[in-house]
Structure 1
Amino acid sequence: MTHRTLAAVLTAALVGTAAPALAADYTLNVNTALAVNDPLYRGLESFRDGVAEATGGAVEIRLFPNSQLGPDEDVLEQARAGAPVAVVVDGGRLAVFQNEFGVLGAPYLASGYDGMRRVVTSDRFEEWVQALRGASGHQVLSFNWWQGERHLLTQMPVTEPADLAGVRLRTPGAPVWIETISAMGATPTPMPWGEVYSALQQNVIDAAEAQLPAIVGARLDEVISHVTKTGHINLITGLVTSAAWFDSLPEDFQRILREEALEAGDVASYGTRDALAAIEADLEAKGVDVAEIDTTPFREATASVYDELGYGALRDELQAIAAGD
């Protein structure tokens, strides 16, 4: 018996499951659009290492930054087909399968990480997780991967929605994002994140919107001059895989994956929170104007998005959960 096989047998004995023949029998490829210097990526490294330790190496997590496995939508389709892949993805992209997920990307739902964490660890959210399995064949491992509040990235100062009139602004293609950006006064222009740098450089688009760590990771400070801190979307994302692949694992490994994903999500999210001030200072040092503004006009302009997408009742329920009521 080889050392690897012996380790797998011993691991199986400890967790009370049948042993895989080799560690490679359980391999999960995780895709993210973000770069390796993003705080969220350190959370993914924590997930990889935690799963390896908790399963004695029987489950291997492989990380693919910078969308190496393709756009998020493509990886989601691979997962639907049962491939052993996972992707860090926002709720808007899952809303096409289970509508409630879209509300997580609605404007000004909550402030900061702690409130959003209450929402995505609630019993109400777990109902959506189970419904998604049946609707699309996706399994949420955890959804507490907070990437920060999203701001406007432009070539000119912005203080109110009227300043965005006629501005072609990149955003993800999900309805909640498109409606939000349109309500803010811009012309929403969906495209993959990996194309944003060149699109700004070549004037295919005029502006974008993103959280501070992503700006640095994509080097957008080279092709924008202003960041306006609207905080219009509090970006919470999830680690989503194939339900069929997940169900093929021993039950104890399923439990480990979800527990480790939740713990690693906290590593990523609190790391993001702690890095924001330094990232903002770095952007300013590179010549980008980072402006605090009164967000009231943007809050008022986007308030109707909830009702337009049928999320009015959910807004009130989730804001109460976020507040700890």
Structure 2
Amino acid sequence: MRRNKVVSIAALVGATALALAACSAGAPAATPSGSSTTAAAPVATTVFKVAFNQPETHPEYIALKAMGERLKQRTNGAYSIDVFPNETLGAQADTIQSVQSGTIAMSVIGGSLLESLNPDFVVFDLPYVFTSQAQQRAVTNDPAVVSGLYSSLDSKGVHVLGAFYGGVRNVYNKTKPINTPADLAGMKIRVMQSDTNIEMMKLMGGTGTPMGQGDVYTAIQSGVLDGGENNELIYSTLKHDEIAPYYSYTRHLMVPDYLIINPEIFNGMPAADQKIFQEELVKAIDQENTEFGAQVDAAITAAKAAGAKFNEVDTAAFQKAVAPLTESKLTDDVTRKIYAQVQAAAK
């Protein structure tokens, strides 16, 4: 894994052009270093576009919106954030490319999507790797664990700023409760786009079918898919309970959601404003972690009212089924070290 420099002279030179493209229409790029917090005269606001694939009610949207307001206040109006929900700026895989090109500044993406850029990210995407929300929160935002990993994509136009809690993913379908891997035989289940997720679903007994989140409802309704796998909040919010009422607690994944940015845009900010940005992101991650649990409880109640049926599964059977996947992905010193750090955080 390469540890790229986060700041470079070339990045600072190129940041202005990228920021112009990545900001809202008419918003200028960042002001020269040092001026955003000390200038007496009013400054124009650079508004960073953030792509997001969930609705405005989602905890991550709420946290990022509040972060944008705080960022604007603390930088004296130099910087703010505009979050575009519901895949307005494209599906997650497409927004990665938009961040790389500087068309948009940032995007929130499911962790599995970064595996194609650096396979080392697979460690956080393995089934049953995390045992609790607190463990995931601690590990995926600990610089001692992730600094090298999160900067490893800088040369490809992607820098990971931090990780949000993405909930616990479970299987749901339109036919029957799932109790063992054998129950998934013949079922086409939507998964996030990565080879790891496809292989995971195969080992779990089903057929993993990558697809953008916005297309899943229609695909299940029409029979293209039999179901999906996601947390209770997404399941209820996107009304998948209407067409796939059987929700089974496989608890197979706890994949983080990453906030990514074009590194040249971030490096174009004055150092003082970068520090403010990072401080406010920590607050946003804390807010989202707190809000998520309350929303999941409400989502379960709403889904049951819509007719959804929740059931426990033979967890040991699923853990045994996917164990070979973990063994096959920990192939070098980097992934084995990160995996050991994750396990140590569970103790």
Q: How does 1:88-167 map to 2 (within 5 A)?
A: 88-122=108-142, 123-134=144-155, 136-143=156-163, 145-155=164-174, 156-167=176-187
* Residue 340 of structure 2 is aligned to residue 317 of structure 1: yes
Matching residue within 193, 208, 211 for 2:231: 211
Cα distance change of structure 1 residues 132 and 20 upon mapping to structure 2, 3 Å threshold = farther
Cα distance change of structure 1 residues 140 and 158 upon mapping to structure 2, 3 Å threshold = same
Q: Shift of the alpha carbon at 1:168?
A: 0.6
Identity, % of aligned positions = 26
Structure 1: runs of 5 or more not aligned: 1-7
Q: How does 1:44-63 map to 2 (within 5 A)?
A: 44-63=64-83
Q: Shift of the alpha carbon at 1:258?
A: 2.0
Structure 2: runs of 5 or more not aligned: 1-29
Equivalent position amino acid for 2:312 in 1: E
Q: Distance in 2 between matches of 1:200 and 1:228?
A: 16
Q: Contact 1:118–1:321 (CA<8 Å) still a contact in 2?
A: no
Q: Distance in 1 between matches of 2:74 and 2:330?
A: 42
Q: Which moved more, 1:275-284 or 1:236-245?
A: 275-284
Cα distance change of structure 1 residues 18 and 27 upon mapping to structure 2, 3 Å threshold = farther
Please give the secondary structure, in 1, of the residue aligned with 2:165: strand
Report what 1:5 is aligned to: none
Q: Shift of the alpha carbon at 1:20?
A: 9.0
Report what 1:276 is aligned to: 296
Q: Distance in 2 between matches of 1:310 and 1:38?
A: 33
Q: Distance in 2 between matches of 1:170 and 1:184?
A: 13
Q: Contact 1:75–1:85 (CA<8 Å) still a contact in 2?
A: no
Q: Contact 2:179–2:312 (CA<8 Å) still a contact in 1?
A: no
Q: Distance in 1 between matches of 2:193 and 2:149?
A: 21
RMSD: 2.3
Q: Distance in 2 between matches of 1:175 and 1:314?
A: 22
* Residue 312 of structure 2 is aligned to residue 292 of structure 1: yes
Matching residue within 312, 315, 325 for 1:305: 325
Equivalent position amino acid for 1:216 in 2: S
Matching residue within 80, 86, 110 for 2:106: 86
Equivalent position amino acid for 1:185 in 2: G
Q: Distance in 2 between matches of 1:318 and 1:20?
A: 47
Equivalent position amino acid for 1:233 in 2: L
Q: Shift of the alpha carbon at 1:12?
A: 5.5
Cα distance change of structure 1 residues 321 and 89 upon mapping to structure 2, 3 Å threshold = farther
Report what 1:186 is aligned to: 206
Q: Contact 1:170–1:208 (CA<8 Å) still a contact in 2?
A: yes
Q: Contact 1:306–1:315 (CA<8 Å) still a contact in 2?
A: no
Report what 1:74 is aligned to: 94
Matching residue within 218, 235, 258 for 1:238: 258
Q: Distance in 1 between matches of 2:120 and 2:134?
A: 20
Please give the secondary structure, in 1, of the residue aligned with 2:53: coil
Equivalent position amino acid for 1:248 in 2: G
Q: Distance in 2 between matches of 1:18 and 1:293?
A: 62
Matching residue within 174, 186, 195 for 1:175: 195
Q: Which moved more, 1:209-218 or 1:272-281?
A: 272-281
Report what 1:22 is aligned to: 44
Cα distance change of structure 1 residues 323 and 268 upon mapping to structure 2, 3 Å threshold = same
Q: Contact 2:236–2:299 (CA<8 Å) still a contact in 1?
A: yes
Structure 1, residues 147-189: CA drift from partner, whole Å, max 9, x if none? 2100111121110001001101111111221121111111011
TM-score by length of 1: 0.89
Report what 2:23 is aligned to: none
Q: Contact 1:29–1:61 (CA<8 Å) still a contact in 2?
A: yes
Equivalent position amino acid for 1:159 in 2: N
Q: Distance in 2 between matches of 1:19 and 1:306?
A: 56
Please give the secondary structure, in 1, of the residue aligned with 2:146: helix
Q: Contact 1:103–1:176 (CA<8 Å) still a contact in 2?
A: no
TM-score by length of 2: 0.84
Q: Contact 1:115–1:323 (CA<8 Å) still a contact in 2?
A: yes
Q: Shift of the alpha carbon at 1:85?
A: 2.3
Q: Contact 1:146–1:237 (CA<8 Å) still a contact in 2?
A: yes
Q: Distance in 2 between matches of 1:148 and 1:187?
A: 22
Q: Shift of the alpha carbon at 1:315?
A: 6.5
